[in-house]
A and B are shown apart, each in its own frame.
Chain A
Amino acid sequence: MTETDTHTTIEEVATIELEVFRYQPEKASAPSFDTFTVPLYDEWVILDALNHIKDELDGSLSYRWSCRMGVCGSCGMMANGDAVLTCAAFLKDYAPGPIRIEPLANFPVARDLIIGMDDFMEKLNRVKPWVVNENGKSLEEGEYLQTPAELDDFKQYTMCINCMLCYSACPIYGMEPEFVGPAVIALAQRYNLDLRDHGNEERMDILSADDGIWQCTFVGECSEVCPKHVDPAGAIQRYKVEATNSWWKSKLMPWGK
């Protein structure tokens, strides 16, 4: 078997072990770990290793992935207890290994490394993540104009790729599954701060409910693991201030709006 010029021959390539979480409910009711040895190439990420395992070593391994370049948010998993996008985590950073690969924490596992994300999708839908503008401009009136400063206000929150790493890092979500969660709040803020949107009041009903922002105790890990630097923790704290101001205004000046 020939190798390209940039690779050494198979016998000389270093290897690394991956301990991969397996859960195949039709075979066993309890999960287990399988150990695989994969080549340790400089340019390989964990996703490459998983693809190698599925292609060469064990075709039954199930996992999600798509773009392999950090924009689709499909390949989130736990590597040595940290939530990462496996397409962005280089094997050499974990050398000499072994690397423990587990499904995204705080989610129910359907099979192997695949988690059930229905809860997240339902919550995302709840906060209406679209521009709410019933009486908007007609097409003939032209486009909405936004200054760079106005865009800057919410641009950070548009970067969310729904990878759910923040939900894995959030201990509150782990303990209280009703918690709306960091990404959903950040995405709600993306629309709240967009001047074309008029959905603030509707979203505040959802976000300022008991299972909304008030469960958050600002652990801050969500922002630490976010691969797109969305800073959901900051979005939540800003929204707490806004919701508090709104609440006090409604109590002290109930006639106003």
Chain B
Amino acid sequence: MTVSYGRYKKYHPWLYQPRHPILWWIKKWAYVRFILRETTSLAVMFYAVVLVLYVNAVSKGPEAFAAFSEWLASPLSISLHSVAFLFAVFHSYTWFNLAPKAMVVRVGTKKVPESVILGANYAMWAGVSIVLFWILTTI
């Protein structure tokens, strides 16, 4: 990035600009939190793959499903899922908290307060979770 200083001839400024460090995000907790938030996408992708494999195992027959269920109960799977669960919840939490920033909803002339939008998001999350929970535990 070049910057020109026009008629500033007598003292030619040598501009000092160090390279941005590659571990720039380690310096502040806010940046660490940001990187953690971004890595939640890996947990989401992990579960998308697992879910497809889950349905696939059922389609292949009872033996395949039993084998897959056994893998799901293995220490490796449990630890992966535990970590993924924490990241998935963190994704939901940060996502809903940021949603009001992107949407400014107006009713008439008054702005809907952010807490209302937040509440609606969390209510939707609870609702969807309850429905899915009910489906999977009562079949």
Chain A interface (Cβ within 8 Å of chain B)?
Answer: 23, 25-26, 29, 31, 81, 106-111, 116, 118-119, 147, 149, 152, 171, 174-175, 177, 217-221, 224, 231, 233-234, 237-238, 240-241
Contacts and interface: CB of A to CB of B under 8 A. Distances in A.
Contacts of A174: 20, 24
A234 B110 CA distance: 18
A238 B30 contact: no
A117 B88 CA distance: 41
Contacts, number: 72
Contact of A171 (B11, B16, B17, B24): B24
Interface of B is mostly: loop
Nearest to A177: B1
A237 B98 contact: yes
Given A234-B101, A237-B102, A25 B13 contact: yes
A233 B38 CA distance: 16
Given A118-B3, A174-B24, A233 B16 contact: no
A249 to B, nearest CB: 18
A231 B102 CA distance: 12
Given A171-B31, A175-B20, A238-B104, A152 B111 contact: yes
Interface in B18-56: 20, 24-25, 27-28, 30-31, 34, 38
A231 B114 CA distance: 14
Interface residues of B, number: 27
Interface of B: 1, 3-5, 11, 13-17, 20, 24-25, 27-28, 30-31, 34, 38, 98, 101-104, 109-111
B20 A81 contact: no
B11 A108 contact: no
B98 to A, nearest CB: 7
A23 B25 contact: no
A174 B17 CA distance: 10
A119 B102 CA distance: 28
A107 B17 contact: yes
Contact of B28 (A81, A107, A119, A152): A81
Given A118-B4, A175-B20, A109 B15 contact: yes
